[in-house]
Amino acid sequence: MKKTLIATGGVALAVVAGFVMFGGGADTAQEPVAALEGAALVQIIVPEVLSENAAIGKRGFDLYCAQCHGPNAVGQDGVAPPLVHKIYEPSHHADESFQRAVAQGVQAHHWTFGNMPPVQGLSRADVALIIAYVRELQQANGIQ
């Protein structure tokens, strides 16, 4: 009797451990996980080597864009969208779209982050270098 009770208790313990470790139960599999505000919205591959223009553009991106669009343009939950995303592929948002967004700002139309204000202190040449950086990130992630 004692052996049967121990064996039954061991099986029950194993079943409970399995549910805890592997998220068993229909209720837990259906619950959404809330992202933390500011958390990256996409995971990307960062190229090991950037072209000279993209390397310069990265410095500009880090100074002017990363505070909203996150490091390496991965976006930030509740702040701004990722630029390494199919929506921003060159056939949908050409380089001039980025130039205009920086110069004039842009009304929200793909995302619910709100409008983007103009970015002061960047010339068209500066933005072209930042675009080169974003495009190389996109290419490294299959967005062309």
- Please indicate, yes or no, if residue 93 is contained in any of the structural domains: yes
Does residue 74 sit in the same domain as residue 112? yes
Does residue 25 sit in the same domain as residue 82? no
Cα distance from N-terminal residue to C-terminal residue, the chain:
69
Residue-level pLDDT, tens digit, the chain, 144 residues = 444 434 434 434 343 333 333 344 333 333 333 456 789 999 999 999 999 999 999 999 999 999 999 999 999 999 999 999 999 999 999 999 999 999 999 999 999 999 999 999 999 999 999 999 999 999 999 999
* 24: number of Cβ within 10 Å: 14
Does residue 14 sit in the same domain as residue 60? no
R_g of the chain computed on alpha carbons? 23
Instruction: Return the sign of the alpha-carbon dihedral for residues 108, 111, 112, 118.
Output: negative
The CATH number for 63's domain is 1.10.760.10
Answer for the pair 87, 79: CB distance below 8 angstroms, yes or no: no
Does residue 100 sit in the same domain as residue 131? yes
Does residue 25 sit in the same domain as residue 57? no
Report yes or no on whether pTM surpasses 0.85.
no
- Please indicate, yes or no, if residue 100 is contained in any of the structural domains: yes
Question: ∠33-138-39 over CA atoms, to 5°?
Answer: 25
- Please indicate, yes or no, if residue 44 is contained in any of the structural domains: no
Provide the domain limits for residue 103: 52-140
Does residue 27 sit in the same domain as residue 60? no
- Please indicate, yes or no, if residue 104 is contained in any of the structural domains: yes
Does residue 127 sit in the same domain as residue 56? yes
Instruction: Say how many domains are in the chain.
Output: 2
